[in-house]
Amino acid sequence: MQNRIVVTGVAGFIGSNLAKRLLDRGYAVTGIDNLSAGTAENVDQGVEFIETDIRAPEIHPLFEGADAVFHLAAKTCLPECVNNPLEAASINVVGTLNVLEAARRAKVRKFIYADTSAEYEGINEFPTCEERIQPIGVYAASKHGGATFCESYRHLYSMNVTILRYFNVYGPAQDWRRVIPPVMSSFIIRMLQGERPVIYGTGEKRRDFVYVDDVNDFHLLVLEDQRASGKVFNVGSGINFSVSEVYQLIEGVLMTGLEPIYKPELTGEAEVTLADLGAAKALGWKPRVAITEGLSRTIEYLQSRALKAKASSPGAI
Ligand X SMILES: NC(=O)c1ccc[n+]([C@@H]2O[C@H](COP(=O)([O-])OP(=O)(O)OC[C@H]3O[C@@H](n4cnc5c(N)ncnc54)[C@H](O)[C@@H]3O)[C@@H](O)[C@H]2O)c1
Distance from C-alpha of 250 to C-alpha of 252, rounded to nearest angstrom = 5
Shortest approach of ligand X to residue 97 CB, angstroms? 12
User: What's the rounded Cα separation, in Å, for the pair 149 and 113?
Assistant: 10
Q: How far is the CB of 37 from ligand X (least distance, A)?
A: 4
Q: Which is nearer to ligand X, 140 or 299 (CB)?
A: 140
| CB-nearer residue toward ligand X: 21 or 143 | 143
| Side-chain half-sphere CA neighbours of 9 within 13 A | 26
188/19 Cα distance (integer angstroms): 25
Q: Is the CB of 150 or the CB of 250 nearer to ligand X? A: 150
Residue 48 makes CB contacts below 8 A (sequence gap 6+) with: 28, 29, 30, 31
Q: Which is nearer to ligand X, 72 or 258 (CB)?
A: 72
Where does this chain bind ligand X (CB under 6 A)? Answer: 9, 11-15, 32-38, 53-55, 72-76, 91, 95, 114, 116, 143, 166, 168-169, 175
What is the 8-class DSSP label of residue 106?
Answer: T
Please state the φ and ψ torsions of residue 229, each to the nearest 5 degrees: -65, 140
- Nearest distance in Å: CB 317, ligand X: 16
Closest among 12, 71, 18 to 39, alpha carbons compared: 12
Does residue 55 sit in helix, strand or coil?
coil
In whole angstroms, the minimum distance from the beta carbon of 84 to ligand X comes to 12
**CB 220 to ligand X: min, Å:** 16
Q: From CA 45, how far away is CA 14, in angstroms rounded?
A: 16
Closer by beta carbon to ligand X, 38 or else 260: 38
Q: Which is nearer to ligand X, 33 or 214 (CB)?
A: 33
Residue 267, classified by CB atoms within 10 Å of its CB into exposed (0-12), middle (13-18) or buried (19+), is exposed
- CB of residue 122 vs ligand X: minimum separation in angstroms? 17
Catalytic residue among 113, 120, 139, 153: 139
Q: Is 139 a catalytic residue?
A: yes
3 state SS for 64-106: CCCCEEEECCCCCCHHHHHHCHHHHHHHHHHHHHHHHHHHHHC
d(CA 184, CA 192): 12
Q: Are 287 and 238 in contact (CB under 8 A)?
A: yes
Closest listed residue to residue 234, CA positions, set 204, 262, 271, 273? 273
Catalytic residues: 139
